[in-house]
Amino acid sequence: MNSTVPSQTVPPALERLPPLAYRGGALIIALLLIGLIVVISGASPFEVIGRMFSGAVSTPDQIGRVVATLSPLLLCAAGLVYTFNAGLYNLGVEGQVTFGAIATTFALRLLYPEEATASILPPPLTIALGILVGALGGMLWGLLAGVLHVYGRISEIFAGLGLNFAATGMAIYLIFGPWKRPGVASLSGTQPFDESLWLGTFGQTEATPVGLGLALLALAVTIVVMRNTHFGLRLRAVGKNPYAAHVLGVPARRQLLSAFLVCGVFAGLAGAIQVVGVFHRLIPSISSNLGFLGLLVVMLVNFDPLWVLPVAIFFSALNVGGLQLPLSLGLESSLSGVIQGLLVLFALIGRGLAQRYAG
């Protein structure tokens, strides 16, 4: 008896559709759902869009907040491009941001003790060393996740999530313990650093040119590396098929560890910028969930660094603009998170359908 398993066929109606139709259809469904949720919340979708847009760009201060959010978001997204192309879901990026912030705080406290009236080194050099130490801290935390995955055979997802909790716990311990503010331990964080250790900003806004410059440089380097170097080609080869890459002479373990290392460096830089450019101290939620938002950005652009900047700008503006919803319309600020989640979810669904039926 000849028994065969019938092969899966693509419905003819679906096969004729171009990839753009799946992506566009998914986006339309997402927008309809978002509109329905807004209406259920008791507001007009057009009014919500208008308020969020004006809340992001109507004043220089709000534009500065968008840029201040964009800088660490770009750094996280640029780093995640490496791990995603290597086939790694690096959910530990949040912990790498936090540990980078801890390392920067340690360096600044060492170079400018609380009892001192000035830093040991000139302030610009102190800031530069603090940022460098933050990058090294993120690198070490990223390498730890890589070692657990490559040599301990622990899923990078579980290793990353565990290290996230560890880094957050360490930050909270330091804030309420050895680094607590004089006479009081507070969720507001450690004692703010002297203003001489604050990064300069654009005018009176929160945006810092140094942070934005580092972020754009990191993204530019990532684009060049992923598109024009053997390192980027090897990362993609390992991500597609680690065993085949190893057979062809590509050192898979080294590539995986390198991806974790680079992502850790960029995430550590993001944590350092949060300390010296935004909060000017260490706080428990120093990452502001920008690492996880970076994950969504990179997944949405299909791991292509060329499209990271416009998508990151959109989500940064959405984050800042969403803060106006409870003030002007009486809606929950978390609505912007719902909008972000639905857009990303249906974008991924559209991409998956396009790859399955039109790819």
284-307 pLDDT, tens digit each: 989 988 998 898 899 888 889 999
Is 130 a member of any domain? yes
Find how far residue 152's CA is from the centre of its chain: 26
State what percent of residues in the chain have pLDDT above 70.
Answer: 89
Q: What pLDDT score was predicted for residue 134?
A: 97
Region class of 44: left (phi > 0), else alpha (psi between -120 and 50), else beta: beta
Is 192 a member of any domain? yes
In which band, very low, low, confident or very high, does the pLDDT at 342 lie, cut at 50, 70 and 90? Answer: confident
CATH number at residue 226: 1.10.3470
In which band, very low, low, confident or very high, does the pLDDT at 146 lie, cut at 50, 70 and 90? Answer: very high
Is 213 a member of any domain? yes
Is 120 a member of any domain? yes
CB proximity list for 332: less than 8 A, separation 6 or greater? 41, 325, 326
The pTM of the full predicted model, rounded to 2 decimals, is 0.86
CB proximity list for 217: less than 8 A, separation 6 or greater? none
Pick from 44-53, 248-257, 266-275 the range whose average pLDDT is largest: 266-275
Whole-number average pLDDT of the chain: 86
In which band, very low, low, confident or very high, does the pLDDT at 328 lie, cut at 50, 70 and 90? Answer: low
Number of domains in the chain: 1
Is 135 a member of any domain? yes
In which band, very low, low, confident or very high, does the pLDDT at 218 lie, cut at 50, 70 and 90? Answer: very high
In which band, very low, low, confident or very high, does the pLDDT at 353 lie, cut at 50, 70 and 90? Answer: confident
Residue 280 has pLDDT above 60, yes or no: yes
For residues 117 and 97, give the distance between their C-alpha atoms in angstroms, rounded to a whole number: 29
Q: What's the whole-number mean pLDDT along residues 112-130? A: 89
Where do we find the tokens 């259809």?
A: 25
User: Minimal CA–CA distance to 347: which of 13, 76, 25, 85?
Assistant: 25
User: Minimal CA–CA distance to 30: which of 44, 15, 45?
Assistant: 45
Higher pLDDT, 273 or 349: 273
Q: What pLDDT score was predicted for residue 208?
A: 93
Is 17 a member of any domain? no
Phi then psi for residue 93, to 5 deg, are -60, -30
Residue 235 has pLDDT above 70, yes or no: yes
Question: How would DSSP label each residue in 175-242?
Answer: HHTTTPPTT---TT-SPPPPGGGSPP-STTSS--HHHHHHHHHHHHHHHHHHHHSHHHHHHHHHHH-H
In which band, very low, low, confident or very high, does the pLDDT at 17 lie, cut at 50, 70 and 90? Answer: low
pLDDT digits (tens, 9 = 90+) for 61-89: 888 999 999 999 999 999 999 999 998 98
Is 249 a member of any domain? yes
CA distances for 246 relative to 82, 243, 256, angstroms: 18, 5, 12
Q: What pLDDT score was predicted for residue 127?
A: 96
Is 226 a member of any domain? yes
Q: What pLDDT score was predicted for residue 7?
A: 46
**Residue-number span of the structural domain to which 211 is assigned:** 60-306
Q: What pLDDT score was predicted for residue 20?
A: 72
